[in-house]
Structure 1
Amino acid sequence: MAYAPGPAPVTDIRPVFVGSTRGLDPETGAAFGFTRSETLQRARFDVSVPPDHKTGQLQYPLKGRKVDPQKDFLLAGSKNYPDPAAFQADLRQSLKASGGEAVIFVHGFNNTFAEGLYRLTQMGVDFDLPKTMVYYAWPSRGHVLGYAYDRDSAVFARDGLRQTLRELRQAGAQRILLVGHSMGSSVTMETLRDIALSGETETMARLSGVLLISPDIDVDMFREQARTIGPLPQPFVIFTSQKDKALRLSSKIAGERDRLGTLQDLRRVADLKVTMIDTGAFNTADGHFNVANNPALIRMLGRTGQLAKMLEGEQTGKGNLATGVVLTVQNATRIVLSPISALGGAN
């Protein structure tokens, strides 16, 4: 299995709890492939952080490449939980050590299980996320030509995310930061909609914030989802970029001009209490994950405490060392980050 190369000879180990609706890999028979499971799978993976890790870099074992323990994120151990009670017991122990704080990450389109697992670990290190990290792995095909399969899987997967959130709450989580990337943002919004419709107020109340990174969602669909949810969990932060090549392609496939992750016209969401952060000036690779890939952006958000302030609801709408242009229309705020601001924050 690509994500299980063997014990890792390093000492920085990050446990990642997993809730997944992925079934078996049809080729290898291994768990967490791309097929769909109607039963929620539970696990924990202990991931080692390479001693030579550099901010924004994600390197992990791939077929055909020699593993480098100094630079690769590696699997140090794993545990499956056939019994939900055992899963919650270990979660409860972890939550006690992290003060009841947890972050749950929902990966995006064209992701294998391993990619999302190592990505969350990398973000956990670079952003100093709460020690209780939970990875929700929905059944993405893990192939660039699997867009239609993934779109259907995103709808299929919402019940599994809802159950994972419920079990995290039942284990004692007091503050849950929910992070969705790309098509995982669609899974996130559909799940929040279902939670609202079911009247599951206890789970909604435990959400300390929602982050949508490069969300691959139709803007009108997002508005309808938000209308059904009602008051959005706060803070509600959306990272965008018009330079996002993946979302441009998604727009062409959908026959639309904008996805939520490329939206610039704040008036289209002005009645919603959201903060949109434009990261286009920090474009890295295809621009679809600037928040996790660009070292300057990571350092800026971390060093100035700007991200923490946003997550604590302290964004005032006024410029500071960490922000560039700030625009507010009704309830919505748009912040355009700039490298010049980052240089200012370094002093």
Structure 2
Amino acid sequence: MWRALIVLGLLAGCAPRAALMSAPSGLDLPTRSVFVTTQRDIDPDTRVLTSARSPQSRHMQIDITLPPNRPEGEVAFPFRKPDPETDMLVSDVTPFGTQRALITGIKRALSQSDEKRVQLYIHGYNNTFADGVLRTVQMAEDFDFNGVSAHYSWPSAGNALAYAFDRESIMASRSGLQDLIVALSGLTTKEFTVVAHSVGSDLLMEVLRDLAISGRRDVLDRLDGVVLISPDIDLDVFKAQATRIGKLPDPFIVIASPNDRALTVSARLTGQVSRVGSLGDSDELGAFDLLFLDVSGLSSGGDRLRHFTAASSPEAIRLIRQLSKTADALGRDAALRPGLIPGSVIRARQTTRIILGQP
């Protein structure tokens, strides 16, 4: 186990850590707003959000500048001397005292947006607060999302060696995320989708399961899509969660790769052969009505762990964007016809597997 943790630490240790830095005043660059709910506690001395768990949620709107020279697939991390031409910087922060105030802010943004859609992103393992906020912006920009972006920041330690802490943190964060999803489901929007990464996928599945158990089918039915990117979930646990949820939101998408090095380590730590996000095929998921996107044949971009290929690889971004636009224009069933999508289609009972980039 310790050897696996050390390998993961070495692989992740060279990756830059995001920081939120202020943009110069008077800067004339386009921005994206992110509506954030977090259960991270605040350091009483520095007033900075930390990895400590808080029993209460905090809400805010953060406006991030968009650098004109950012390569597609990259989160533009600012360092000691941030450059607005290459880095994502904070142009404004608006705190909300209550969840109701947050929802009012989202309603206002929806009334001004080109698309009446809300997309909620839940980050994964080993993420700082800034990691999740800037990743939300990067994905919205690269996937041409023109609705309202929201982000749920659960208290990850932001440390590659703190896997156990992170898994316990997601269990402590279920109520906070559930409250947020229930509130967002009450919005009158064309579409409300939820995207989760890594162990954040396990957190989301637990919340969807809890909603089903508590009879909140109305909330589940308001979800117009769920996307699990590299889900760090035990296969048997996922099956139990999905079975208890019942009818899954449509579309329900799992993005996976057997080349995922982070999930290979996770499997060793948990004594399993593989995780849902590292399955080589979708046969084990055949009982569930979902789309299984296999990105193993695509370049990983700058992601050495191959744990976020879907959002870090320009090739993957282009293919997923093409698939999404085809489905929006023609509908899901029509979009899966041979020749219309950027990959080969394999159907196993209720599950449809798409191997992206394969003719």
Q: What's the TM-score, normalizing by structure 1?
A: 0.91
Q: Secondary structure at the match of 1:281?
A: coil
Quick one: which of 142, 145, 150 aligns to 2:158?
Answer: 142
Quick one: which of 85, 90, 110 aligns to 1:75?
Answer: 90
Q: Is the 8 A contact 1:243 1:283 kept in 2?
A: no
Matches within 5 A, 1:112-127: 112-127=128-143
Equivalent position of 1:297 in the other structure: 316
- The percentage of counterpart residues that share the same residue type is 33
Query: Cα distance 1:310–1:142, how it changes in 2: closer, same or farther (>3 A)?
Result: farther
Consecutive unaligned residues in structure 1, runs of 5 or more: 342-347
Equivalent position of 1:4 in the other structure: 21
Equivalent position of 2:67 in the other structure: 50
Q: Is the 8 A contact 2:232 2:276 kept in 1?
A: yes
Deviation at 1:166, TM superposition (A): 1.8
Count of residues in Structure 1 that have an aligned counterpart in Structure 2? 335
Q: Is the 8 A contact 2:64 2:91 kept in 1?
A: yes
Partner Cα distance (1:100, 1:215) in 2: 28
Work out whether 1:257 is the aligned partner of 2:276.
Answer: no
Q: Secondary structure at the match of 2:155?
A: coil
Deviation at 1:202, TM superposition (A): 2.5
Partner Cα distance (2:176, 2:28) in 1: 33
Query: Cα distance 1:283–1:255, how it changes in 2: closer, same or farther (>3 A)?
Result: farther
Q: Is the 8 A contact 1:10 1:49 kept in 2?
A: no
Equivalent position of 1:286 in the other structure: 305
Moved more, 154-163 or 315-324: 315-324
Partner Cα distance (1:127, 1:330) in 2: 30
Matches within 5 A, 1:89-128: 89-98=104-113, 99-128=115-144
Quick one: which of 156, 161, 183 aligns to 2:177?
Answer: 161
Q: Is the 8 A contact 1:235 1:310 kept in 2?
A: no
Equivalent position of 2:342 in the other structure: 323
Q: Is the 8 A contact 1:102 1:130 kept in 2?
A: no
Partner Cα distance (1:205, 1:282) in 2: 33
Deviation at 1:85, TM superposition (A): 2.7
CA-based RMSD? 1.9
**What amino acid is the match of 1:115?**
D
- Structure 1 runs (4+) deviating above 6 angstroms are none
Q: Secondary structure at the match of 2:85?
A: coil
Partner Cα distance (1:271, 1:223) in 2: 9
Deviation at 1:70, TM superposition (A): 0.6
Equivalent position of 1:345 in the other structure: none
Q: Secondary structure at the match of 2:51?
A: coil
Question: What's the CA shift string for 1:289-335, capped at 9, x where partnerless?
Answer: 11111112212332xx3123457534654432543332111101111
Moved more, 312-321 or 4-13: 312-321
Equivalent position of 1:224 in the other structure: 240
Work out whether 1:189 is the aligned partner of 2:205.
Answer: yes
Partner Cα distance (2:319, 2:270) in 1: 34
Partner Cα distance (1:258, 1:118) in 2: 29
Partner Cα distance (1:205, 1:213) in 2: 21
Consecutive unaligned residues in structure 2, runs of 5 or more: 1-17
Question: What's the CA shift string for 1:88-119, capped at 9, x where partnerless?
Answer: 21111112234531000000000001011001
Q: Is the 8 A contact 1:20 1:32 kept in 2?
A: no
Partner Cα distance (1:33, 1:272) in 2: 38
**What amino acid is the match of 1:159?**
S
Deviation at 1:174, TM superposition (A): 4.4
Q: Is the 8 A contact 1:16 1:44 kept in 2?
A: yes
